[in-house]
Amino acid sequence: MIYPNNFENKIGFDDIRALLKSFCLSSLGKEMIDSLGFSDNADVINEWLTQVREFRLMMEEHDDFPLIHFFDVRESVKRVKPEGTYMDENELFDLKRSLTTISNIVSFLNRNEGETAAGEKIYPYPALQRLTLNVTTFPMIVQRIDEIIDKFGKIKDNASPELLEVRRELARTEGSVSKALYNILRSAQSDGVVEKDATPTLRDGRLVIPVSPSLKRKIRGIVHDESATGKTVYVEPAEVVEANNRIRELESEERREIIRILVSFASVIRPHISDMLGSYAFLARIDMIRAKSELARTFKGIEPIVGNKPHIDWTAAVHPLLQRSLEKVGKKVVPLDIMLTPQQRILIISGPNAGGKSVCLKTVGLLQYMLQCGLSVPFNEHSRTGVFKKIMIDIGDEQSIENDLSTYSGHLVNMKNMMKHADNDTLLLIDEFGTGTEPLIGGAIAEAVLKQFCNKKAYGIITTHYTNLKHFAEAHEGIINGAMLYDRNEMKALFQLEIGDPGSSFAIEIARKTGIPEEVIRDASELVGSEYIQSDKYLQDIVRDKRYWGNKRQNIHQKEVQMAKTIEKYENYIKELEGKRREILEKARQQAEELLKETNRRIENTIREIKESQAQKDDTRRIRKELDDYKSEVAEIDSAAKDELIERKMAQLKQRKERKDQRKQERAEQKANAEKALKEAVERKKMEERPLEKGDYVRIKGLTSVGVIESIEGELATVIFGEMRTKMKKGRLERTAKPIREERATYSSVTSSTRRAIDERKNNFKQDLDVRGMRGDEAVNAVTYFIDDAILVGMSRVRILHGTGSGILRQLIRQYLATNPAVTEYKDEHVQFGGAGITVVDLG
């Protein structure tokens, strides 16, 4: 339960929700965040927080998680439920891409890292993987969309045989109209009827010629429009009227066929609408979890383990919105340490005005609410927290003209509702408890209400200036005082919460700081009496001394922790040294045993050789000398066998041998590399100096595809790239190495059907590319394919229609063209043909 209805607005959660929505990738996530709510189930909250924790870890470990094409097409999908309805090309294109994203996310989260002993799969992100359960993917529908929609979201020519035939006829008709119109234009220009630089243009979808009004009767045709100045009229010559009419008819036929295709496809989607909407709910949840992770990164939040009982034990907690606001001006927020336990359920905070009491209260309310909404919270990772089933707040002015409530009456209404619903699972947040009426009776009512809260074992944070409430906290179990600290010397608030003693309001000091006349302050002091002034000073001194000794105690504790760490560190060193010593001694013992065995073998061999040689003096002397030499070596080693000395000597010998072997290997490798580099340089120099010949492997400068030269005629070379033969200047080619895996390189090995397809692609290549309406990356991708195709079919000039708009598309496309070595020049089209809205590209 949350009380009152404007609770989120009072604690500032509206701003948190707005910030969350700004991190979303689509309206899917924004809609889910709008419905984000408070939960009092610890298991549900922990699952939400685990999802965020795993997502943050996943984004740190992987950069290939699919986070593109989060399109919301739910309304379009719902619209095709009735028979005869359909989705248009753009909606179908968004459907395909978003369904692909859903499928990729499900596949990514279901990657496993093996199995347990019980045969259960181990997932790196189990909480996120559980979200994929019962989520349906639609690979067949995506494949079907691919059959009718191209990579730019347009209906393919071969989406149906009828559409292919209509578009072919339309292309032929448009070509004939354009040819006829240019013939008429050239004739009119030669007769002086039309200006020399005039070009055909479009008016109402029909090709027309711009003519001066005085000469419009020189061209037989229909006037369709005139310029804004009236100095130009646009005439459609009579010779192309019928052809233009036919174009209109074919365009209508094309549109009818497209609609028929889309209606037919809608019947494929219709049976899966319910499952599809469920899959988009999964996509919305992923979007929301990503937004939560971005919020956690912004606030430097953590995802704690939430207990199922009311509990607050926070260290270094900060108000996230206040922190974000102060960081913008280069300031830092003072962190808050606060604790509410069954033994200390209610905290009474007192202290000076503008000392941070209300901020402290709002911080607790906002962080607890964020936590129970499944959001990361900015406090120390060692903090502990629990769940409250009810959170109730009374803060700000509750005056209401509509409900005939004064400020104090509004507070009393809130107190009544709080007393009615409060229990041991409730968190109460009350600011300036008891104010708004005569202080004596207001304090008494506040104390009586506080007693009710105490009897109901409710948890709460209450701010006040009333002395009787401070005394009540001292006299009753479960309630504790707290103070917002104030520096009396600097006369400024410290915004630090000290739990254990009440705080002074520092009314006299603040009045003096604000410039109240000293006479007024003296009269006020006399009115309240010296005992009150003196007791307030004693209270300030107690708070000051407690703060001093608290800092001392904290410093001592820090030094004790550092000392404990140092002791532990040296104890670990001693254990490690002792372990190494035992290891060295054990190795020395094993080596001594091996030495003894070797000695016995030498003695036995000596005795056997003496016997076999029949005790010849020379042989006996030689054998005895060898045995004596070996004994001296053993004695030398034995004398040095003192713990670490043996190990050190052996290690030095071993290291010396390893260094010698390593230097020898490095010299051999350097020599081999030098010989190899020299050989490659000689071969490369020979290849560069030798002119291109038939059979050489080459590639177009700036491209990676490798082809083979079939023949050379002067400066032109015929090159075969895979299954494509093309002619181009030798200057555009550079020699390259033979590919590791050589593809079929002869045109004669291509099947007749493939050859026809290649020839048809050459014949149907259009010199104009329209990228208007595309996103930047899609447009650059389309231009890349278009330029590659133009190079392969031997085009020397092409045009790219990108429109004017904000100029972003034009800038991105020209940045790409500047990096392509096959492009010799690019410039704006003539102003009458489109000007800056069209880029003309010359290919070398």
CA distance 175 to 181: 10
- Checking DSSP bridges between strand 384-385 and strand 233-237, what pairing results, if any? unpaired
Spatial contact of 297 and 373, defined as CB atoms under 8 Å apart: no
Q: What local confidence, expressed as pLDDT, does residue 510 receive?
A: 63
Q: What local confidence, expressed as pLDDT, does residue 401 receive?
A: 38
CA distance 483 to 470: 10
Cα-to-chain-centroid distance, residue 158: 39
CA distance 55 to 286: 9
R_g (Cα) of the chain, nearest Å: 44
Please state at what angle helix 273-299 crosses helix 320-328, rounded to 10 degrees. Answer: 60
Closest alpha carbon to 96 in 362, 326, 298, 276: 276
- Checking DSSP bridges between strand 478-487 and strand 344-350, what pairing results, if any? parallel
Q: What local confidence, expressed as pLDDT, does residue 532 receive?
A: 58
Q: How many CA atoms lie within 13 A of 50 on its CB side?
A: 16
Residue 367, classed as helix, strand or coil, is: helix
Amino acid identity of residue 550, one-letter, is: G
Q: How many CA atoms lie within 13 A of 777 on its CB side?
A: 2
Q: Rounded to whole angstroms, what are the CA distances from 406 to 3, 6, 410? A: 19, 18, 6
CA distance 801 to 828: 10
CA distance 195 to 209: 10
Q: How many CA atoms lie within 13 A of 77 on its CB side?
A: 24
CA distance 408 to 422: 20
Instruction: Give me the residues paired with residue 711 across strands.
Output: 718
Please state at what angle helix 439-455 crosses helix 467-475, rounded to 10 degrees. Answer: 30
Q: Rounded to whole angstroms, what are the CA distances from 574 to 84, 185, 569, 582, 587? A: 84, 99, 9, 12, 20
Spatial contact of 505 and 541, defined as CB atoms under 8 Å apart: no
Q: What local confidence, expressed as pLDDT, does residue 402 receive?
A: 44
Phi and psi (nearest 5°) for 542? -65, -45
Which helix or strand (DSSP H or E) is residue 2 part of? Answer: strand 2-3
Mean pLDDT, consecutive 10-residue stretches, the chain (844 aa), reads: 90 94 94 93 95 94 90 93 92 94 94 80 91 93 93 91 92 85 78 74 78 75 78 81 85 92 93 94 96 94 93 93 89 90 90 80 94 94 93 73 57 88 93 79 88 92 86 87 73 73 65 73 67 58 65 81 86 85 82 75 70 57 61 53 54 66 75 71 66 82 78 84 76 76 43 59 79 86 84 82 83 87 85 82 83
Render the burial of 401-430: b for 16+ CB within 10 Å, e for the rest. Answer: eeeeeeebbbbbbbbeebbeebeebbbbbb
Supply the DSSP string of 35-101, one letter for each residue: T------HHHHHHHHHHHHHHHHHHHH-S----------HHHHHHT-STT----HHHHHHHHHHHHH
Q: What local confidence, expressed as pLDDT, does residue 525 receive?
A: 67
The helix, strand and coil proportions of the chain, stated in percent and rounded to the nearest 5, come to 55, 15, 30
Spatial contact of 821 and 779, defined as CB atoms under 8 Å apart: no
Tokens representing 474 are 């001292």
